[in-house]
Amino acid sequence: MNMDEQALVLQIQAGDEEAFAKIVHVYKDKIVNYLYQVTGDYQKAVDLSQETFLRVFFKANKYRPIAPFSSWVYAIASNLAKTELKKRWRMGLVSLEDVPPAVEISTPSKEASDSGLVKNLRQALDALSPRYRIPVVLKDMEGYSQEEIAQIIKRPIGTVKARISRGRNILKKQLEKARTGNVSFQKKEIFDGRF
């Protein structure tokens, strides 16, 4: 953690809302992007991001500078995302994109560039169990080291390495199937319900 963040955390612990606003400014876009990659739902990512920062503010006194501040923020966001994904799985929520429409449905989150490989990757990532999705997103999209991911998800480094490797292999197989046209991204096949 750099000295500026450490000073800001001390100010947040004292209840300084301006220091909190600075932290939000630094991490807001990163956390929303991360949560979007994990959940696949932009609005849910924004909601979870807001909850993340509420917890940062109200639980700032629990932060101890043994790990980087960013790891602590991402750990909070990861835990909220895992809870959301568990809830979705239990409730059997289905994306509108998974339901074949009787009428063409246009959604604002769909961009013209979101086709082909990007669409297949998004579907494969959405179908991937959170136990693999979170480490893969943290490593390959957010750029965290395996050691940092181990701190964020509170798992041993060997577990993190295995989950990244397994997640990448599952994604690779799904994308190969998509390329040949033999794919259906079914969450039941990929998601085992455990975290």
Domain assignment of residue 71, given as a range? 3-190
Q: Residue 165: inside a domain, yes or no?
A: yes
| pLDDT in the model for residue 92 | 60
Q: Would residue 80 count as lying in a domain?
A: yes
For residue 78, is it within any domain?
yes
Asked whether residue 98 is domain-assigned, the answer is yes
Q: Using an 8 Å Cβ cutoff, are 40 and 122 in contact?
A: yes
Is residue 111 included in any domain, yes or no?
A: yes
Phi and psi at 68, nearest 5°, equal: -60, 145
Q: How many domains are contained in the chain?
A: 1
pLDDT at 130: 83
Evaluate whether residue 195 is within a structural domain: no
- pLDDT < 50: residue spans in the chain: 1, 94-114, 187-193, 195
How would DSSP label each residue in 13-40? Answer: HTT-HHHHHHHHHHHHHHHHHHHHHHHS
pLDDT value at residue 77: 94
Residue 129: the pLDDT is: 83
Q: What is the pLDDT of residue 176?
A: 83
CATH number assigned to the domain comprising residue 121:
1.10.1740.10
Domain-located, residue 168: yes
Residue 63 lies in a domain: yes
Q: Is the model's pTM score more than 0.95?
A: no
> CA 48, 8, 145, 120 torsion: positive or negative?
positive
Q: HSE of 105 in the Cβ direction (CA atoms, 13 Å)? A: 10
pLDDT in the model for residue 97? 46
The predicted pLDDT at position 2 comes to 56
- The rounded Cα 103 to chain-centroid distance in angstroms is 31
32 contacts 46 by C-beta, under 8 angstroms = yes
